Structure 1
Amino acid sequence: MSFEIGDAVPAFTLTDTEGVEHMMPAPGADAPLATVVILMCNHCPFVQAWNPRLAKVAREYAPRGVRFLSINSNDATRFPADSHERMVQFARDQSWPMPYLHDESQSVARALDAQVTPHIFILDADHTLVWTGAPDDDPGDDSEEADAQWLREALESVTAGCKPAVEQRPLRGCSVKWLP
């Protein structure tokens, strides 16, 4: 299955580290201007390096009407660092600024055609995919090294009511750890 620009996000409900259910698409009149879905995990060094920048982007754009959801879909039996318990610990230790959802069945990762962690998807107000890719061009841990801020550029377009001008970017990260 392929999830491409212009496709509507499949409906899903997942539970976060606090036990709260989150639905997609977001129900009701309070639907967000856009939703950023970040497929991530705890163990991947690429995710660990990008996490401070992703948290900063979430803190900056949430007040502008952008909803952020992070999702861990990795097989925790083979990668215990990605277990629900470790997700809870991560969210608390990092004061993670967005819900951290557990996709234990991997149904959401498969529906989104997730490739690596992190893999970012931006959905517009109609829950249609408008951009996907990596946050920036620096998978290291020094944000000063990033020359291109792809996620920020895409969010600037979306919050201005436009389609992102920045192209979909190549993904760098750890492979999704699929169930056998």
Structure 2
Amino acid sequence: MARTPSNMLPLGTEAPDFKLYDTVSHEPLSLQQLKGPEATVIMFICNHCPFVIHVNAALVAIANEFKEKGIGFIAISSNDAKNYPQDAPDKMTIHAKENQYPFPYLYDETQNVAKAYDAACTPDLYVFDAALRLTYRGQLDDSRPGNGIAVSGSDLRHALDCILANESNTKPQKPSIGCNIKWK
């Protein structure tokens, strides 16, 4: 399995705006509609990546916990569905329902949103504050498939706790590692 690191978009970057098809509600949804009042987590994921499958339950648990605190969560798949049909929108709908995603699961057919965010892998996580300025990017935690470290979500949780406490995140931010986005 490929081990692609995420690109580390500069902190303070403003979240690129988008409007994408939501495979759960079957409606086009925008960042402005979905952003949280306190912060917004944007996750580039897909259905088949072993790295995403490894952390799916934690992503759901963290979203369920923090959405009640004013944090918005948005999942985006930018994979080429023609060459990777398991990541097609109809399969995304099934995957979101089976995993009980408490967040929209958007399809980036043109891959323009992934390029705007400089996303490189799945999972690739971004945390934006209430003003949609980047405060965290990188890994969920140190766990990877097969490395024996339990999935905790510690890095993402810390980033969100810092925003809610109005504190700077001074912990080192590590790139995520995962499957590369399947570019056209």
TM-score normalised per structure 2: 0.88
Aligned length: 177
Q: Aligned to 1:105, what secondary structure does the other structure show?
A: coil
Counterpart of 2:13 in structure 1 is 7
Segments ≥4 residues shifted beyond 3 Å: 141-144
Match of 1:22 among 26, 29, 49: 29
- Structure 1, unaligned stretches of length 5 or more? none
Counterpart of 1:165 in structure 2 is 170
Opposite residue 10 of structure 1, the aligned amino acid is P
User: For the residues of structure 2 that align with 1:120 and 1:146, how far apart are their CA atoms?
Assistant: 15
Counterpart of 1:33 in structure 2 is 38
**1:1-180, aligned counterparts within 5 Å?**
3-17=9-23, 18-26=25-33, 32-140=37-145, 145-146=150-151, 149-179=154-184
Q: Aligned to 2:30, what secondary structure does the other structure show?
A: strand
Between 14-23 and 137-146, the greater mean CA deviation after superposition: 137-146
Between 138-147 and 111-120, the greater mean CA deviation after superposition: 138-147
Opposite residue 54 of structure 2, the aligned amino acid is A
Q: Aligned to 2:174, what secondary structure does the other structure show?
A: coil
Deviation at 1:32, TM superposition (A): 1.7
Q: Aligned to 1:60, what secondary structure does the other structure show?
A: helix
User: For the residues of structure 1 that align with 2:98 and 2:67, how far apart are their CA atoms?
Assistant: 20
Q: Percent identity?
A: 36
- Structure 2, unaligned stretches of length 5 or more? 1-6
Opposite residue 133 of structure 1, the aligned amino acid is G
Deviation at 1:98, TM superposition (A): 0.6
Deviation at 1:144, TM superposition (A): 6.6
Opposite residue 68 of structure 2, the aligned amino acid is P
User: For the residues of structure 2 that align with 1:34 and 1:143, how far apart are their CA atoms?
Assistant: 31
Structure 1 residues 141 and 55, CA, compared in 2 at 3 Å: closer, same or farther? Answer: farther
TM-score normalised per structure 1: 0.90
